[in-house]
Amino acid sequence: MIKTLARATAALVVGAFLYRRYLRQPILTWGATAEEAAARLPGDELLEDADGVATRAITIDAPPGAIWPWLVQMGVGRGGAYTYDWIQRMLGLDMHNADEIIPEFQHLEIGDVLPMRPNDPGMRIEVLDPERALSSRSEDGTWVWTLALVAHNSSTRLISRNRARVRTPAQRAGMALMEIGSLVMERKMLNGIKQRAETGRGRVRPVQPQSVTAQREIRHGVH
């Protein structure tokens, strides 16, 4: 029993070493250039002392104006996150990925709170620079997410940066799994936005009046 425990411990230590030495950086910077990963982005100032920072990116053959509407409408009960539906549902997120631009979800304001799972902190909009940057911060201050658009000739670089602070030893111990899982989800999301922006320009859903309750939840952070 003691030998088995010792071997398992040694395997974990070696695995953690190999992950940090060879895998962690590519996982945290998938698709991003070294310059993009090192650059300051809007929203960085909202959580300077982050325990983990992931910067991932993709090139989209469309101008920022064709991408921005897909970003603004993201969220639970809104346009979704353009990633794996079944994983979102498994995580308790009531997300349904939209394949068209939804007019009633195109009007974010600084201070709006987008709900997440029931009883979880929502994401408060902190930076809103149309066609350039969108940053939100969790109400408990442990997560900042920025989506930045950088035009380059006829294409655009979409840069996604997550800054997170861990609060418990268990969270710190599970960071590798969280980082790998976030890559799986975020790569799908970035490719989902790319596909929609490149092929879905002009697809706009007819306006559906948003309920008074839904508007109040977003504006005041009810979730």
The pLDDT of residue 223: 45
Domain assignment of residue 155, yes or no: yes
Range of the domain at 50: 29-220
Q: Is residue 190 one of the residues assigned to a domain?
A: yes
Q: Is 84 exposed, middle or buried (0-12, 13-18, 19+ CB in 10 A)?
A: middle
CATH number of the domain residue 214 falls in: 3.30.530.20
144 within domain boundaries: yes
Residue 22 lies in a domain: no
Measured distance CA(214)–CA(223) in Å, rounded? 10
Residue 208's pLDDT is what? 59
> Distance between terminal CA atoms of the chain?
48
Any domain includes 19? no
Identify the pLDDT of residue 32.
98
Q: Which residue has the higher pLDDT, 212 or 122?
A: 122
> What per-residue confidence (pLDDT) applies to 39?
98
For residue 21, tell me if it sits in a domain. Answer: no
What six digits make up the tokens of 122?
């929502």
The pLDDT value given to residue 175: 79
Nearest CA to 56 out of 174, 145, 132, 125 is that of: 145
Q: How confident is the model at residue 212 (pLDDT cuts 50, 70, 90)?
A: very low
In a domain, 103, yes or no: yes
Angstrom distances, CA of residue 9 to CA of 14, 15, 17: 9, 10, 12
Q: Which residues are registered as beta bridge partners of 64?
A: none
pLDDT at 4 over 80: no
- In this predicted model, which residue has the larger pLDDT, 96 or 203? 96
Query: Could you read off the pLDDT of 152-203 as tens digits, one per residue?
Result: 888 999 999 999 998 777 777 677 888 999 999 999 999 999 999 999 655 6
Dihedral sign from CA coordinates of 89, 91, 97, 101: positive
Structural domains counted in the chain: 1
pLDDT at 138 over 50: yes
